[in-house]
Chain A
Amino acid sequence: MKQLLLGNEAIARGAYEAGVRISSAYPGTPSTEINEAMARYSEVYSEWAPNEKVAVEVALGAAVFGARAMACMKHVGLNVAADPLFTAAYTGVNAGLVLVVADDPGMHSSQNEQDTRMLARAAHVPVLDPSDSKECKDFMSIAFDISEKYDTPVIVRLTTRVAHARTVVEPGERKDIPLKEYAKNTAKFVSMPGNMIKRHVAVEQREKSLAEDADLLSVNRIEWGDKELGVITSGAAYNYVKEALPEVSVLKLGLAYPLPRRLIEGFAKEVSELVVIEDMEPFFEDAIKAWGIPCSGKDKTGIQGEIFAGKIAAKFKGDPDPGPMTFGGIPVRPPVMCAGCPHRGLYYVLSKLKLNVLSDIGCYTLGALPPLNAVDTCVCMGASIGMAHGAEKARGGQSKKTVAVLGDSTFCHSGITGLLNMAYNKSAGTVIIADNSITGMTGHQDNPMSGKDLSGQPAPQLDAMKLCEAMGIKNVRVVDPFDLKALENAIREETARDELSVIISKRPCALIVKQPNTPYYCDEAACRNCGLCLKLGCPAIVKTEKGVRVEESQCVGCGLCAGVCPFGALSIRGNDHA
């Protein structure tokens, strides 16, 4: 029966049908739902790994020992996993190994617009690029077949509009794929120079033969139309081309790397003008130009952001340009920390103390926005700690004015090694682990500090206190971020030291524990309009002419505002001045 599936759910379905046995992932928008959907298939072992490098190594181990396996991540996760990927391309795989990597053109929920195809080419790994959920499902089977036939990891690359679009899919049966034999083969799997010199030759041969076969692969297809204009495209961009230019000839590349040269040359000869319409980098365009085939594309579509049908119709058909899909002249509505968010207490204190805050990737990055304005930097998973150490070593004494802030999941992902480095190299500094017991921004996934695994079963919980002790860190304490006084004292004391300290700011995410839901209100007679509560940046507290108003439909009754108000103006009705 036909189903409406997210691209991500269809990826999971496709992997299931292709007989995948092992799936490991770290959550990251827009890829998170893949492994959540995978967890619903009892025939597949699926897990959250602490980071993408581990996830790829898990999947590689499974594949080498005979099981079809996959690892899923967002685009920047592939940077973390690049190390095993680049050498797995040399060792090969035995059973199929597929990495699903989701790019985010337009940066809906990401820190950059990197194009996975570029990294895949650098690693000499083939890339499939589906356009909708049906192709997501179908391409997974093809990806596993290519992986086994050519003995290589394969990347299935998604973009936000494919991963997060629901389109129609017809589910099929799961293939019965037995475990492959494992035979010890050190010449292949021990990556010493003497072995890998020979393997590099194999990588080149494999890539060449796949490129030749790509001319005949069914996922690369020509849809002939008017031959005045020929368009080469793939992924989500294919959909926009079909909407904007339904009459033209289209070469749709399902395999984005390596490219089918003869197919492209043949297509180019048949059309009067050749254009390439692709999201992100001029990946196809540069390659095609390098073969001496005249074409254009990026001069009209640009590299940044998404290319929609309206823009294509304007640039290639002369339709009126619809302009950017943003509408000015009215207040913007940036994302905010939720009402009741534990990070709000932490950032209120950090903002009050006017510290330099080297932050990290997670909900708590939102502390950078007004009115908290508390964050100095945010670069990549775990960078808060490494950068704090660098800042201290560069300036000496910077640690008195600086803290590193990162969440529990980010700490497990990439913070532990940074902290070990600080301890080992006798650094001074204060690292604050904003432990809300969940991976928040991606929609509440469990992690090694949350006490549960992907299937919701109880799991060993990392004891961060003991871990810090084991590293030799003497100053470790746990504070509730809603106890503003205790938190302020802790941060003052720890930043004053000439040693390394860790503060665990511990309170669960407001969306995973039941909130009191008894709204506060502002007693206008008591309010002196000082504006302190507005510095919390709570979505439920709104400035009025006389003072503030608590928006009852937004307030969850966390009471943080009452702790900030010096005049007792904020309280629960019937419980005045509590």
Chain B
Amino acid sequence: MLNIVIAGVGGQGTLLASKILGQLGLNHGYDVKVSEVHGMSQRGGSVITYVRLSKEERLYSSVVEQGKADVLLAFECLEALRSLPYVKPGGTVIVNTQEIMPMPVITGAAKYPDGCLGQVKAKAKADVIALDAIGIAKECGSNKAVNTVLMGVLAKKLPFSRGQWHSAIVQNVKPEYACVNRNAFDRGYYYGENS
């Protein structure tokens, strides 16, 4: 069984990531549960979606609870910190190092945590992979491809091949963005191998 938590800021494309991941599971004979967030909380607020995949047993709940996540895929640094309690000891945290200021920080009522990424690394009882996914996405030609860059990194932790991911991505994005997204995925997939 695989429990994945996808955390980010409304508008970053976390829903597409969970949809593609769910589709992959379905394509390859897994029982799948995906829990999404729609409506008010999508408007620039914290958003969390859950993806559960299982080949052995039937799944019931669509929610991943505290300490149960094998992987936390965080689209933003503060959201990674917020969602750390989901991760089980020995799990994996994949974090985009991008920092998006929440409104209390913008107005000066609160402070963005100093050395947020350092705190994620220090507090996580898990393997932390940090990358500038938005920088990579821009190099691929679109800010919006940040989700496919992160999916590329995630792919290394899951039992699906690069080709299987490519087809699930192409199924779920507009044809004109397929090329950008495939490239972005590959940049994530091979992240850390040549550096």
Asked if B108 lies at the interface with its beta carbon under 8 angstroms from chain A, I say yes
Are A4 and B34 in contact (CB-based, < 8 A)?
yes
A108, B105: Cβ atoms closer than 8 Å: no
On chain B, the number of residues with a Cβ less than 8 Å from chain A's Cβ atoms is 56
How far, in angstroms, from A330 to B108 measured CA to CA in the complex? 14
Partner of A441, one of B43, B104, B108: B43
Whole-angstrom distance between the Cβ of B97 and the nearest chain A Cβ:
13
Alpha-carbon separation in the docked complex, A132 to B9 (Å): 27
The minimal Cβ–Cβ distance linking B36 to chain A, given in whole angstroms, is: 5
Within 8 Å CB of B104, what residues of A? 331-332, 334, 370
The CA of A528 and the CA of B33, in the complex, are separated in Å by 52
Is A53 in the interface zone, CB < 8 Å from B? no
Q: Are A327 and B83 closer than 8 Å at their CB atoms?
A: yes
Contact B39 A331, beta carbon cutoff 8 Å: no
Of A243, A325, A369, the residue contacting B103 (CB under 8 A) is A369
Task: State whether B63 touches A337 (Cβ < 8 A).
Answer: no
Q: Which residues of A contact B32 (CB under 8 A)?
A: 4, 166-168
Contact, CB under 8 Å: A166 / B107: no
Chain B residues 1-47 with CB under 8 Å of chain A are: 9-11, 18-19, 22-23, 25-26, 31-46
Over the window 79-90 of chain B, the binary record of Cβ atoms lying under 8 Å from chain A Cβ atoms (1 yes, 0 no) is 101111100000
Contact A166 B36 (CB under 8 A): yes
Is B95 among interface residues, defined by CB-CB distance under 8 A? no
Q: Which of B31, B33, B43 contacts A165 (CB 8 A)?
A: B33
Pairwise interchain contact A330-B62, C-beta atoms closer than 8 A: no
Interface members, chain B 52-94 (any A CB < 8 Å): 60-63, 65-67, 78-79, 81-85
A165 to B60 alpha-carbon distance, docked (Å): 11
Instruction: Tell me which of A166, A441, A541, A553 contacts B34 (CB under 8 A).
Output: A166
Taking a contact as CB atoms under 8 Å apart, the answer to whether B33 and A370 are in contact is no
Kindly provide the distance from the CB of A377 to the nearest chain B CB, expressed in whole angstroms.
Answer: 17
One of B109-117, B173-181, B183-191 at the interface: B109-117
Contact A161 B100, beta carbon cutoff 8 Å: no
| A553-B143 contact, Cβ under 8 Å, with A309-B61, A441-B43 | yes
Taking CB atoms, residues of chain B closer than 8 Å to A541 are 106
Contact with B along A411-449 (1 / 0, CB 8 A): 000000000000000000000000000000111000000
Contact partners of B25 in chain A: CB under 8 A: 4
Q: Are B66 and A366 in contact (CB under 8 A)?
A: no
A29 contacts B by Cβ under 8 Å:
yes
One digit per residue, 1 when the CB lies within 8 angstroms of any chain B CB and 0 when it does not, for chain A 345-363 equals 0000000000000000001
Of B62, B67, B100, most buried by chain A (CB within 10 Å of CB) is B62
User: Do A333 and B61 contact each other (CB < 8 Å), given the known contacts A325-B66, A537-B107?
Assistant: no
A333 & B109 in contact (Cβ 8 Å cutoff) = no
Report how far A541 CA is from B107 CA in the complex, Å: 9
Contacts of B81 in A (CB 8 A): 330
8 Å CB contact of A161 from B35, B43, B111? B35
Q: A336 on the interface (CB 8 Å rule)?
A: yes
Nearest Cβ on chain A to B2's Cβ, whole angstroms: 15
CA–CA, A108 and B103, complex, Å? 19
When the two chains form their complex, are residues A239 and B62 in contact, meaning their CB atoms are under 8 A apart? yes
Q: How large is the interface on A (under 10, 10 to 19, 20 to 34, 35 or more residues)?
A: 35 or more
B140 within 8 A of A: no
| Bound form: Cα–Cα A2–B30 in Å | 11
Q: Which residues of B contact A29 (CB under 8 A)?
A: 38-40
Task: Across the interface, name the chain B residue whose C-beta is closest to A339.
Answer: B44
Query: CB of A175 within 8 A of chain B?
Result: no
**Does B40 contact A109, Cβ atoms closer than 8 Å?**
yes
The residue in B38, B62, B67 that gathers the most chain A C-beta atoms within 10 A of its C-beta is B38
The listed residue (A238, A309, A330, A553) touching B78 by CB distance below 8 A is A330
Does B45 contact A336, Cβ atoms closer than 8 Å? Answer: yes
Tell me the residues in window 516-558 of chain A with beta carbons closer than 8 Å to chain B beta carbons. 534, 537-539, 541-543, 551, 553-554
Q: Are B107 and A322 in contact (CB under 8 A)?
A: no
Residue A335 lies at the interface, judged by CB distance under 8 Å to chain B: yes
Cα–Cα, bound, A369→B81 (Å) = 24
Chain A neighbourhood of B100, CB < 8 A: 539, 551, 553-554
Instruction: Report yes or no: A330 in contact with B82, Cβ–Cβ below 8 A.
Output: yes
- Closest chain B residue, CB of each to CB of A337: B43
Q: Which residues of A contact B134 (CB under 8 A)?
A: 553
Q: Say yes or no: A327 contacts B106, CB within 8 Å.
A: no
The answer on a CB contact under 8 Å between B85 and A537 is no
Known A164-B36, A330-B81, A539-B106: A108·B41 in contact at CB below 8 Å: yes
| Measured CA separation A308–B50 after assembly (Å) | 14
A234 on interface, CB distance cutoff 8 Å: no
Would you list which residues of chain A between 216 and 256 have a CB under 8 Å from chain B? 238-240, 242-243
Q: In whole Å, how far is B188's beta carbon from the nearest beta carbon of chain A?
A: 18
B85 touches A165 (CB 8 A): no
Does the CB pair B60–A242 fall under 8 Å? yes
Q: Which listed residue, B9, B42, B46, B61, touches A239 by the CB 8 Å rule?
A: B61
Residue of chain B at shortest CB distance from A534: B107
Q: In the bound complex, what is the Cα–Cα distance between A543 and B102 (angstroms)?
A: 11
Separation of A308 and B134 alpha carbons in the complex (Å)? 34
- Closest Cβ–Cβ distance, residue A159 to chain B (whole Å): 11
Nearest neighbor of A1 in chain B, beta-carbon distance? B26
**Out of A3, A164, A334, A370, which one reaches B45, CB within 8 Å?**
A334
Query: Which single member of A240, A309, A370 contacts B107 (CB below 8 Å)?
Result: A370
Residue pair A165, B62 in contact (C-beta under 8 Å): yes
Q: Chain A CB within 10 Å — which of B45, B101, B109 has the most? A: B101
Contact of A539 among B60, B66, B103, B109 (CB under 8 A): B103
Contact of A327 among B36, B44, B82, B109 (CB under 8 A): B82
Q: Which B residues form the contact surface with A (CB < 8 A)? A: 9-11, 18-19, 22-23, 25-26, 31-46, 60-63, 65-67, 78-79, 81-85, 98, 100-113, 134, 143
**Interface contacts beyond A108-B40, A336-B44, A370-B104: sample of 14 additional A-B pairs, CB < 8 Å, sorted by A:** A108-B41, A132-B62, A165-B34, A166-B35, A243-B60, A310-B66, A330-B82, A333-B44, A333-B46, A333-B82, A370-B103, A442-B39, A551-B100, A553-B143
Q: Which 9 A-B pairs have the closest CB atoms?
A: A29-B39, A109-B39, A335-B45, A165-B62, A333-B102, A166-B34, A331-B110, A239-B60, A335-B43
20 CB contacts below 8 A, A to B, read A4-B34, A33-B38, A109-B40, A164-B35, A166-B34, A167-B34, A240-B63, A308-B61, A309-B61, A322-B66, A327-B84, A331-B105, A331-B110, A335-B10, A370-B103, A441-B40, A537-B107, A538-B106, A543-B105, A554-B100
A residues whose Cβ falls under 8 Å from a Cβ of B? 2-4, 6, 29-30, 32-33, 108-109, 132, 161, 164-168, 238-240, 242-243, 308-310, 322-323, 325, 327, 330-338, 363, 366, 369-371, 441-443, 534, 537-539, 541-543, 551, 553-554
